[in-house]
Amino acid sequence: MAQMFIHGEWVNAQSGETYEVKNPANGEVVDTVPKGDEKDAERAVESAKAGFKEWKQKSPDERAEILHKGISMVKEQVKDLAALLTREQGKPLMEAMGELNHFLHG
């Protein structure tokens, strides 16, 4: 089961509720994800506010390094991410690759 990333941790919804993500092309269950609610959103927003205080103290070079690392991580997993997008959205693989390339290159 997938989880939400809040305050540096992978967590389930506080309610414990989940939602099945199905491939619209064939109905296959791709994964089960947390069904976040208002409390989960509030927790994520508060964490983001706290994180922003730390982020704004970083130099432009430090920020760029962090962003480039994130981009590198996506590039390393681009085929797996495209396959997941295809399964969860029912879109063609080439379209999923195009979406990821647009994300990476603007």
Reading the block at residue 105, the tokens are: 């290159």
The verdict on 40 and 66 lying in the same domain is no
The verdict on 21 and 35 lying in the same domain is yes
Q: Rounded mean pLDDT of the chain?
A: 96
The verdict on 46 and 65 lying in the same domain is no
Amino acid code (one letter) for 9: E
Are 42 and 25 in contact by the 8 Å Cβ rule? The answer is no
The verdict on 40 and 75 lying in the same domain is no
The verdict on 26 and 74 lying in the same domain is no
In this prediction, residue 17 has a pLDDT band, given cuts at 50, 70 and 90, of very high
Average pLDDT over residues 36-62: 97
The verdict on 79 and 92 lying in the same domain is yes
The verdict on 43 and 94 lying in the same domain is no
Domain that holds residue 83: 59-106
The verdict on 91 and 81 lying in the same domain is yes
Task: List, as one string, the DSSP characters of 6-71.
Answer: ETTEEE--TT--EEEEE-TTT--EEEEEE---HHHHHHHHHHHHHHHHHHTTS-HHHHHHHHHHHH
In this prediction, residue 31 has a pLDDT band, given cuts at 50, 70 and 90, of very high
Element containing residue 59 per DSSP (H, E): none
Return the ∠ at Cα 17 (arms to 46 and 50), rounded to 5°: 10
pTM over 0.85: no
Amino acid code (one letter) for 90: G
Say how many domains are in the chain. Answer: 2
The verdict on 13 and 50 lying in the same domain is yes
